[in-house]
Chains A and B, each alone.
Chain A
Amino acid sequence: MFPSLEDAYRLAPELLLCAFGMLVMLIDPFVPRARKSAVTGLGVLGAALALGATALPAIHLGTAFSGLLRIDGFSVFVHVVVGAVALLVILGSEDYLAREQLPQGEYYALVLFATVGMGVMASAQELVTAFLGLEVSSISSYILASYRRNVPKSNESALKYFLLGSFATAFFLYGVAMVYGATGTTRLEDVQAAVTDGKAIGLLLTLGLGMIFVGLAFKVATAPFQIWTPDVYEGAPTPVTALLSSGPKAAAFALLLRILFVAFPAAGDTWFLVVWVSAALTMFVGNLAALVQTNLKRMLAYSSIAHAGYVLVAFSARNEIGIAAVLFYLVAYALMKLGAFILVAQLGGAGEQRLEINDYAGLGEQQPVAAACLTLYLFSLLGLPVTAGFLGKFYIFKAAVNSGLLWLVTLMAINSVIGAYYYLRVIVVMYMREPQQKWTPAPFPPAVALVLLLTAAGTIYLGLFPSAVMSFATQSALSLR
């Protein structure tokens, strides 16, 4: 049972990420303070190589490590997303870390390790392996969230995140144990076989599935397990918020998709109702709470809750069209949320002072390019055409209408309009209010500018030409069966 070379190929991105994570940690102490950009370069290199290395598993599709991992189109897709997220976050963080005088080496290493966990979550074909991935990604995230040690708010939020997050992972593990008890296995295909054969113990299985759902619902922040999100998103360093809102979320959604569709397709009616209700609740909770926020970071946090609800709508479609819609949405969502948070990290200034929405008054005149970028991300979040967000929403609508979920779609439509109000309000402040303070037109550091350029261009590109990504997503969705 010694791992073969094939197994190593299939795990290539994770191996590279681990290697570079450790390398960064080891080298960092020996690099003088003035030369820290070398460490950043190493982090970027690691993420970029891992992203490129997804080509290896893409060629060597199949199961790895005696069936613990399954490398298929789906997992490759998610690997590309989380790899790209890691790369962009590292690029967008350097200036922030230098400005806030935070240590760089550990930061990059943690981002890389978190990405390892996400990668494992994306390809886990076995529940305990999935748990390992979840923990690796979560623990890295806890540390990252508390990275501003001297800021009480950051510490408070990180502690909250850690406590509630541990609870959630405990739920997940408990659910895994119950599923094991009910079916005698933790491998997803075997669980499915046991469920379809009717050999599983019904009540225990339902409970186990429910617990797993709760654990993952916490990670993706769907109601009623979203309470931690605004505090953590607000307290964490903004580039970390960018990471939290895109990468781990995508991985957790991917894991949930795999568990629900591979292990429990037969129990569809049980989880369908739960997902339906959770989707409706999440959209309303997120959007209604976002309406009254005055802090931009907090508002974006609530908006990400609402978006998790939209993704669940696509889950409810219960077919490949829905899965493809989820995958497409994760890409679109990562682009716009990442861009928005990195931009806010930059505009927030030293010590993250400028985070109130009203602080952005007059930005449109004084920093037209930054304001235009933020407007683009907000339009995309809102779902206006010619942006990735619109097509993401369109595909979700399409999947749900296809499955006859007219009520849920109507609820989502209403929510989109509620959402429009608070996104537009930010734009109102930027362009239509008189500035309260002077914005110093500080030139953006090149790395941040690059991140903004990539996310903005990606947002428009996907809004105009979604076909390539969508066909990739559709094929990935088919591989889940």
Chain B
Amino acid sequence: MQSANLLTAITFLPLAGSAALLILRRDDHAWIRLFALLTACAEFVLSLLLLRGFQAGNALYQFEELHAWISSPPIHYHVGVDGISVFLVLLTTFLTPLAMLASWPSITTRVREFFLMMLVLETGMIGVFVALDLFLFFVFWEVMLMPMYFLIGIWGHERRIYATLKFVLYTMFGSILMLIGILWLYNLTGTFDLPVIQLLLQTGQTTLTRRAELMLFGAFFLAFAIKVPLFPLHTWLPDAHTEAPTAGSVLLAGVLLKMGTYGMLRFCLPLFPDASRRLAPYIAVLAIIGILYGALVAMVQPDLKRLVAYSSVSHLGFVVLGIFAFNNISIQGALYQMLNHGVSTGALFLVAGMLYDRRHTHLIAEYGGLATPMPVFSALFLFVCLSSLGLPMLNGFVGEFLILLGTFERHAGWAAFAATGVILSAVYLLWAYQRVVFGDVTVEKNRSLPDATRRERVILFTAAVVILFMGISSPLFTRRMEASSQNVLNQMARPQSYLARSAGAPTGTLAAKPSPPAAQDAQQGPGRP
């Protein structure tokens, strides 16, 4: 039972909500906030329907929709989800209302525009995860930059303009090279449709030369590596995360970074397996450097938000490592860790934002001894820290463990180095926690800080429940991921899957037959070698 237009509804509901915001009066802040939050909550409920209809053992795209959009070149509105993307959509719809709720008191200027941007951003983020047409994917990928650019630039902190320009220019540089890659791929295959391209490459109807595959891989990978960000392309991240308003940081860390790792899984591995394999050792080394470097730099940060930002570099290193270990377990771990990082780091940014709302600073030295005035807050903060550093029973542990386990099977050395990152993450998080929460109250102002309000408790409790739930019932998630992650690996082993297909293995409903306009264009494509 799959509703026909569910994905479209999920993708564009926030956009419709943002348009409706324009009807409300500009200074009617209460209604604007409420309306935006309700839209985001409705969106979350709607996205839960995805989970209900999702078939766990099915590696193919589900909830597919295919409509012609642009006739020349043939571009389709083609969306669908599989085990890789379905949870990322849920992550997006889960974090957005939390981020909105967190912005309740802190956003006081241009409120309507703020929530409008948040909703547009949500549409962009979901679109990236569900698009199955390369052109459509690129459109969402770029469109999403615009609201984030405004979110950081208008509602950010002191150095916001520098940070937002750096963020946009970095990302744009990567993505425009990806556009060239997409066009090159179109030239070779005659279509922008991802499943069709996968099929053509897999069955050998389109073959890439070694050099072409390497260059194409590079064009895609660079865009994703900047987004992740992979060391040494990470320099935009600390600035953007630190200067963004709380909601911006939450969504940046929670969702936007995942687009990079998602892109690697969705495009780099299945489309360019040989190049992936050849470059995997180098990428793994960069990922390990990122894990260690991010952790070490996080340790010495005087600024709480910057600390969390660098911890993202470290955590995302794990994800990249898991992906490029080419192992079903490690890829599932990477997928799981993507979700964990979204929830845990998102929550850490929410915590940092709550402190900022009270004291208007992120400096760790300005705090200390918060356990006395803010007991509930401190307890929840600890819970979030423990989740982020990977305490068993909580979500972070599952992801890191699966990644290390899967990686260890193939490359024990990689896993050994990476595992030290787990220890380091405990060091920087617990040390930061200790300095903020324990000890005596060093700054007089902190003595009278109010404890978590009802609104803040709702936010942090929700996050804590999800953290615990994901920690103890991970099979609920991995069961739905397994088929898709195995599918990625199958696609990487091309000859094998070719045999499997010709032996009559079932193929995708829409993927099996290249759409007629696409095939037509492939024949006339003059650039075909």
Name A's B-contacting residues (CB within 8 A).
319, 321, 365, 379, 384-386, 390, 394, 397-398, 401-404, 406, 409-410, 413-414, 416-417, 420-421, 424-425, 427-428, 431-432, 465-467, 470-471, 474
Contact = CB atoms under 8 A, between A and B. Distances in A.
A401 B184 contact: yes
A235 to B, nearest CB: 31
15 contacts: A319-B526, A384-B142, A384-B143, A384-B146, A385-B139, A390-B142, A398-B73, A398-B183, A398-B186, A402-B527, A409-B180, A420-B169, A424-B169, A431-B153, A467-B71
A227 B296 CA distance: 52
B343 to A, nearest CB: 30
Nearest to A385: B139
Nearest to B526: A402
B527 A421 contact: no
A401 B215 CA distance: 13
Contacts of B525: 402
4 closest residue pairs by CB, A with B: A385-B139, A413-B176, A401-B183, A467-B71
Nearest to B186: A398
Contacts of A420: 168-169, 172
- Report whether over half of chain A's contact residues are helix, strand or loop; otherwise say mixed: helix
A413 B146 CA distance: 18
A402 B172 contact: no
A397 B180 contact: yes
A406 B154 contact: no
Interface in B135-163: 138-139, 142-143, 145-146, 149-150, 153-154, 160-161
Nearest to B136: A385
B320 to A, nearest CB: 24
A424 B186 contact: no
Interface in B153-192: 153-154, 160-161, 164-165, 168-169, 172-173, 176-177, 179-180, 183-184, 186-187
A416 B176 contact: yes
A127 B526 CA distance: 32
Interface of B: 70-73, 110, 138-139, 142-143, 145-146, 149-150, 153-154, 160-161, 164-165, 168-169, 172-173, 176-177, 179-180, 183-184, 186-187, 525-527
Contact of A404 (B138, B153, B527): B527
A294 B326 CA distance: 51
B187 A417 contact: no
Contacts of B179: 394, 397, 413
Given A319-B526, A467-B71, A467-B72, A402 B146 contact: no
A227 to B, nearest CB: 28
Contacts of B183: 394, 397-398, 401
Given A319-B526, A402-B526, A404-B527, A417 B165 contact: no
Nearest to A418: B169
Contacts of A401: 180, 183-184, 186-187, 527
Nearest to B174: A417
Given A394-B183, A428-B164, A474-B72, 18 more contacts: A319-B526, A385-B143, A390-B142, A398-B73, A398-B183, A401-B180, A401-B186, A401-B187, A401-B527, A414-B173, A416-B172, A417-B172, A420-B168, A424-B165, A428-B165, A432-B153, A470-B70, A470-B72
Contacts of A403: 527
Contacts of A431: 150, 153-154
Contact of B142 (A385, A417, A421, A474): A385
Nearest to B138: A385
A416 B164 CA distance: 17
Nearest to A468: B71
Contacts of A466: 70
Contacts of A410: 177, 180
A417 B527 contact: no
B518 to A, nearest CB: 15
A408 to B, nearest CB: 11
A363 B143 CA distance: 23
Contacts of A394: 179, 183
Contacts of B173: 414, 417
A45 B68 CA distance: 39
Contacts of A471: 71-72
A467 B70 contact: yes
A363 B76 CA distance: 38
B186 A417 contact: no
B193 to A, nearest CB: 16
Nearest to B525: A402
A465 B67 CA distance: 14
B26 to A, nearest CB: 9
A186 to B, nearest CB: 33
Contacts of A384: 142-143, 145-146
A72 B180 CA distance: 33
A424 B527 CA distance: 35
A409 B184 CA distance: 11
A73 B383 CA distance: 69
A432 B154 contact: yes
A403 B169 CA distance: 28
A406 B149 CA distance: 30
A390 B146 CA distance: 14
A369 B487 CA distance: 49
Nearest to A465: B70
Contact of B177 (A319, A413, A428, A465): A413
B104 to A, nearest CB: 22
A386 B72 contact: no
Contacts of A406: 180, 184
B139 A386 contact: yes
Nearest to B527: A402
A406 B188 CA distance: 14
A413 B180 contact: yes
B169 A428 contact: no
